[in-house]
Structure formats: C-alpha cells, structure tokens
C-alpha cells in the first residue's frame, strides 16, 4: 500500500525508518524517499493498520508480496527460482545439442 509523503503519513514513515532502519524490511536494500508501507499481515487477511503490522518496503517487494502472507510469498519466490533453474537447464541442453549438430555438420563436409 502506498502512502503519500505528506502530513501524518510522513510522520508514520519516519517512525518506520526509526524502528526498522533505512532499509527495505524484506530485501534490505536502502530505501528510496518514495518507499512504500507494507502490511506485514496483509490487509486482505484482516491485517491491522497499526504500527506493529507496518513495515517499510521497497516498491518491488511490496508489489511482489502483494496480498500474500510472508510464508506464501516465500513459496512463490522459491517456485519462481525453480522455474529459472529449469530454464537454464533447458538452455544448456539446447546449446549442447546445437554444438553437437554443428560438429556433425563440420565433419560431414
């Protein structure tokens, strides 16, 4: 959830930085001035608007986490990584195959 950097929200954001440091709570990258405020327990899961449920978050993490609870988000990240690994494996298999075919082609000349 995005807050504007004016008035009460500015104080809230300052309080979050004072509590959690000037880094994204999730990826620990340094916060940009326009960082977002994340509901640790998502609002969709009846997470509170109170300070104890709010975390400073970079836009990327907040967007990715969306309305998932942390465990669920972590599972999704793992699944994504597995997918990337699968793609890399496939790419390796394909390039190996191409090299083999090229070699055969060279030999046939």
The binding site for Zn ion (CB under 5 A) comprises 24, 26-27, 58, 61
Nearest-CA neighbor of 43 among 31, 59, 55, 29?
55
Give the chain's radius of gyration (CA, Å): 22
DSSP state, residue 101: H
Smallest distance from Zn ion to CB 39, Å = 15
Smallest distance from Zn ion to CB 24, Å = 3
Smallest distance from Zn ion to CB 63, Å = 10
Q: Residue 5 or residue 63: which is nearer to Zn ion going by CB?
A: 63
Q: Residue 22 or residue 102: which is nearer to Zn ion going by CB?
A: 22
Element (H, E) at 95: helix 70-108
């Amino acid at each position: 959830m995005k807050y504007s950097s004016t008035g009460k929200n500015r104080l809230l954001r300052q309080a979050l930085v004072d509590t959690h440091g000037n880094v994204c709570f999730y990826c620990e990258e340094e916060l940009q001035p326009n960082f977002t405020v994340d509901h640790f327990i998502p609002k969709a899961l009846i997470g509170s608007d109170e300070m104890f449920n709010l975390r400073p978050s970079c836009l990327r993490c907040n967007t990715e986490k969306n309305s998932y609870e942390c465990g669920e988000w972590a599972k999704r990240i793992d699944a994504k990584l597995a997918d990337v690994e699968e793609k890399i494996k496939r790419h390796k298999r394909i390039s190996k195959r191409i090299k083999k075919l090229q070699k055969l082609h060279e030999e046939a000349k």
